[in-house]
Structure 1
Amino acid sequence: MLQIDGIQVGYGRSVVLHGVSLDVPADGVAAVMGHNGAGKSTLLRAVIGLLRPRQGSVRLDGEDVTRLAPHERVARGMAYVPQGQQSFPHLTTAENLQLVADGRRGGREAMAEALDLFPALRGLMGRRAGLLSGGQRQQLAIARALITRPRLLLLDEPTEGIQPSVVAEIQQTVLALTARGGLSVLLVEQHVGFALRAAERYYVLESGRVTSTGAGGAGAEQAVRAALAV
């Protein structure tokens, strides 16, 4: 679904990603892991179009989207959930969801489907997003992205700072979404166990370079932890 080939990305004179290549399988999950400052979030920003690679290419389902603007990539089926459980804090849960659903064909049905995936949000529809817990805001952020019915979902640190029970719920949701088909996920994550349980393939970034890659699953945890310890 997604092919990244040798992209170099930076800010000003500083280069952050040095020729990074990776693939996200159709209807599957690829996980990117690494320490803070490794370039993980920069990678997602380049994929969604917020940063333009100086070299290399980004292809979505065979189409070269390297030069497309973010809104054009969204129109082609990308959705991005940035780090930090972002929402409009002064709007209610319902209003946050309706901002995406309103005016979109099938928006009401897509909103109902997203709430089915995160049923805890149904009891919070009238509460301002700024008053939700971190885990609830993260569920809201993912639900908003899913209303667009993406083909590729980009998740940046979805488990950061949230309680273990919600981590498990997000993992189950990601697995359920990919199992039913039609959705691929590029997951940036520091929670190694979560990432490997969800992913078919993993990549470890170190100083903007892929230093380790392999098949996902619990059997890969030792290799990943060894790569992260370097």
Structure 2
Amino acid sequence: MLELRGVTAGYGRTMVLDDVSIEVPVGGAVAVMGHNGAGKTTLLRVAVGLVPVRTGSVLLDGQDVTPLRPSARVKRGLGYVPQGQQSFAHMTTLENLQLITTARSAIDEVLDTFPALRGLLSRRAGLLSGGQRQQLAIARTLLTRPRMLILDEPTEGIQPNVVTEIEGVISGLTDRGDLSVLLVEQHVGFALRATGSYYVLESGRVTSRGEGGPAAIDAVRAAMAV
């Protein structure tokens, strides 16, 4: 579904990723982990098209999308939820969703995925909790009907019960078989429970990879020297 092949990328003269290759299969979920500064967010921004590659390529559904702008990649089925629970604070929850579509059936569908938002439709997004804003950010992206969903640190700064809900959402979406997920996450347990395979980045290079699941937690922590 999504593949980065031998990607080298960075900012100005500073290289952040060095010959990185990862693959997210159709209907699969993959986690990318590593310490701060390892290059995780840069990798996602390369996949989305926000950071250009120096060498290597980005493929979506087997097609080379390296030269395409982010908007063109979105049209091809890529959805991106950046770090930071982003929303339009002065607008209500419903208005945030209606920025994507006014189709009530589509909005009802994402509200079924995040039922906690139903009682918050008239509340301004700036007054929501961090966990509620994160659910809103994911719900808004799901309204674009992505086939490849990219999530950057979705559990950062949110309460444990919402972490559990988001984990269930990721599992439920990938279980349908029509959505793939690439997840950057510091929370090792969450990442491995929610995904089928993982990569560990260190100083912009892949240093470890394997199958996900709770049994992989010790191996990942060892690879990250936690």
TM-score w.r.t. length of structure 1: 0.97
Partner of 1:83: 83
- Tell me the alpha carbon deviations over residues 140-167 of structure 1, each in whole angstroms, 9 at most, x when there is no partner: 0000000011000000000000000000
| Residue matched to 1:117 | 113
For 1:78 and 1:64, locate their aligned partners in 2 and report how far apart those are by CA, in whole Å. Answer: 14
Structure 2 residue runs of 5 or longer lacking an equivalent are: none
- Which residue in 2 is equivalent to 1:133? 129
CA contact (8 A) 1:205 1:211 kept: yes
Cα distance in 2 between the residues matched to 1:69 and 1:135 = 30
The residue number in structure 1 matching 2:55 is: 55
Would you say the 8 A contact 1:89–1:129 is kept in 2?
A: yes
State how many pairs are aligned: 226
Shift, 1:181, TM fit:
1.8
1:211 aligns with 2:207: yes
Aligned AA for 1:9? A
- Measured in 2, the distance between the counterparts of 1:191 and 1:17 equals 22
Q: Normalising by structure 2, what TM-score? A: 0.98
Deviation, structure 1 residue 198: 1.1
Q: Distance in 1 between matches of 2:125 and 2:178?
A: 29
Unaligned regions of 5+ residues in structure 1, if any? none
CA distance, structure 2, for counterparts of residue 174 and residue 216 of structure 1: 14
Percent of aligned pairs sharing the same letter = 69
- Tell me the distance in 2 between the aligned counterparts of 1:191 and 1:111: 29
Q: Which position in structure 2 is the counterpart of 1:187?
A: 183
Matched, 1:142 2:138: yes
| TM-superposition CA deviations, 1:106-135 (whole Å, max 9, x none) | x43222111100000010000000000000
Aligned equivalent of 1:7 = 7
**Amino acid in the other structure paired with 1:221:** I
SS of equivalent residue, structure 1 residue 122: helix
Distance in 2 (CA, whole Å) between partners of 1:35 and 1:109 is 41
The SS at the match of 2:18 is strand
Partner of 1:201: 197
Give the aligned partner of residue 38 of structure 2.
Answer: 38
Shift of 1:176: 0.3
Kindly provide the CA deviation profile for residues 51-76 of structure 1, in whole angstroms up to 9, marking residues without a partner as x.
11010011011111011000000000
Match of 1:23 in 2: 23
Provide the aligned C-alpha RMSD in A: 0.8
Partners in 2 of 1:150 and 1:112 — Cα distance? Answer: 17
Q: Secondary structure at the match of 2:79?
A: strand
User: What CA distance in whole angstroms lies between the structure 2 residues aligned with 1:185 and 1:205?
Assistant: 18
Q: Which letter maps to 1:30?
A: V
- What letter matches 1:154 in structure 2? I
Per-residue CA deviation, residues 84-120 of structure 1 (Å, 9 max, x unaligned), is 0000000000000000114xxxx43222111100000
The answer to whether the 8 A contact 1:110-1:149 is kept is no
**SS of corresponding position for 2:99:** helix
Q: Does 1:68 align with 2:64?
A: no
By how many angstroms is 1:180 displaced? 1.1
SS at match of 2:172: helix
Instruction: Name the residue aligned to 1:160.
Output: 156
